[in-house]
Amino acid sequence: MSKYMIKLTRRPKPPELTDEVVNELTQEYKLSKSSVWNRPFIKDALMLMSHSKCAYCEVKLDHRGSNMEVEHYHPKSLYENEVVEWSNLLPSCKRCNASKGSHDTKAAPIVNPFIDDPRDHLELKQFRYNHITGIGKTTKEELNLNDVDIQRDRFLISLTASQTLEKLSNLLEQYLSGNKNSTRTRNNIVRGIEILLHEAGPESEYSAIVSTTLLSHELWTPMEEELKAQGLWSQMMEDRKNLALSTAYI
């Protein structure tokens, strides 16, 4: 289920993927068309780069049946020489890999999260992707990013984050008014914000939805300012907020 796409950073190729191994696996693929990319050292390194999430939609891989597939940005059916080229490999869920299929990304590029910031090409309004560029338009269409079921999922994830923030805001009001002015209440508020910020971080599933909802919510800035005024805002919260900003569509 495709949600939001975030910018990722490509790590160096695994040491096992030497030039000699690349050549051997490429030749093996040309002869047998076998899945030479399904080597554990390749898959493990790809998973590490994306926090074990699909590079296109942020769904956790090998979780809830969304098994990890090695995706070829430039399709292997058209570009056999890149079948194990490290810069051409991405971790993907079954849905995104199937949606993209053999689309020729050299003739009509789509967003590559390891090179492009998706927010330069796509924007979100009412849980729908709108394209900013031609690459964004192709990405939206090829990955079927505005499927009705997907929009519903985005809404539900956003709703949960909003409701949690609203509950914490109400709890903070009660704490400040003296109605629930206890250490336990204070700790519940702090812990609740920490959890929300963690869920908005790039290592969490669907981080872009949560970060966008959280940081654009009308309650967020007043609550952050009040927590700072009360001495409840920590450096860890500040660091987590900055990480959330790196994934938010705002």
- Split at pLDDT 50, 70, 90, the class of 226 is very high
pLDDT score, position 150: 82
- Split at pLDDT 50, 70, 90, the class of 12 is very high
CB of 57 closer than 8 Å to CB of 1? yes
38 CB-near residues (< 8 Å, 6+ apart): 70
CB of 90 closer than 8 Å to CB of 113? yes
Q: In what helix (H) or strand (E) does residue 70 lie, and over which residues does it extend?
A: strand 69-72
User: What's 53's DSSP letter?
Assistant: B
Phi-psi label, residue 51: left if phi above 0, alpha if psi -120 to 50, beta otherwise: left
pTM: 0.85
pLDDT score, position 66: 52
Q: Detail the DSSP E strand segments found in 110-166.
A: 122-125, 128-131
The CA distances from residue 70 to 76, 154, 183, in Å, are 11, 25, 49
If we measure between CA atoms, which residue out of 176, 161, 149 comes closest to residue 207?
A: 161
Residue holding tokens 């519940």? Answer: 188
Lowest mean pLDDT among 65-74, 155-164, 238-247: 65-74
177 CB-near residues (< 8 Å, 6+ apart): none
Top-confidence residue, 132 or 66: 132
Q: What is the mean pLDDT of the chain?
A: 93
